[in-house]
Amino acid sequence: MKPSLWHRMDVLARRLTPFGLTLVLVVIGVVPFHIPGFARVVPLLPLMAIYHWAIFRPELMPSYAVFAIGILQDTLTGAPIGVNAMVFLIVYGVVLSQQRFFVGKSFAIIWLGFALVAAGAAALSWVLVSAYNVTLVEPRAVLFQYLVTLGGFPLLAWLFTRWQQTFLRQE
């Protein structure tokens, strides 16, 4: 028997939620909070989402979606176009290559993996932006952004895990 239209739409909506949630995080990351200096160190929310979905449901976050998220991040933050897209795609590829290692591990191991991946992403982003500007960009903002991102990861990972358990059961 062929599934009903409503069932197919429900499955499609559920399958698009990781991409949609990550897009929402991109927008949240650029909302002005009127806190002096906060815009320079706002956590990289999309990086957290890409890391999570690459480990737990990579089929719901394909590379072309990661690229689109990176381009949107660049566009909305004023970063050189392609920097975040490249960083996000590299992170996605690294995490996918290690996915079997992460699945089934404790949260501490997943967080440690994120700490390493996010450090590499921050360093790569700093190098790319410095190269684009043909000068060394002040690294303190990148360091603080990394620390804020690392500190925010447990909350976002918990939310994504709950979302996954509730809405993204295996079809």
Q: Can you tell me the distance from the alpha carbon of 127 to that of 50, in angstroms, rounded to the nearest whole number?
A: 21
Coil, helix or strand at residue 9: helix
Q: What is the mean pLDDT of residues 34-57?
A: 88
As given in the structure block, the two tokens for residue 29 are 């990351």
Coil, helix or strand at residue 103: coil
Confidence of residue 118 (pLDDT cuts 50, 70, 90): very high
In one-letter notation, the amino acid at residue 72 is: L
- The pLDDT tens digits for 66-79 are 999 999 999 999 99
Q: Can you tell me the distance from the alpha carbon of 49 to that of 37, in angstroms, rounded to the nearest whole number?
A: 24
Q: What is the mean pLDDT of residues 89-95?
A: 98
Q: Can you tell me the distance from the alpha carbon of 55 to that of 76, in angstroms, rounded to the nearest whole number?
A: 26
Q: Answer whether residue 168 shows pLDDT above 80.
A: no
pTM of the model: 0.91
Residue closest to 143 by CA, chosen among 153, 151, 131 = 151
Q: What pLDDT does 167 receive?
A: 79
* HSE, side-chain direction, 13 A CA sphere, residue 86: 14
List the chain domain ranges: 5-167
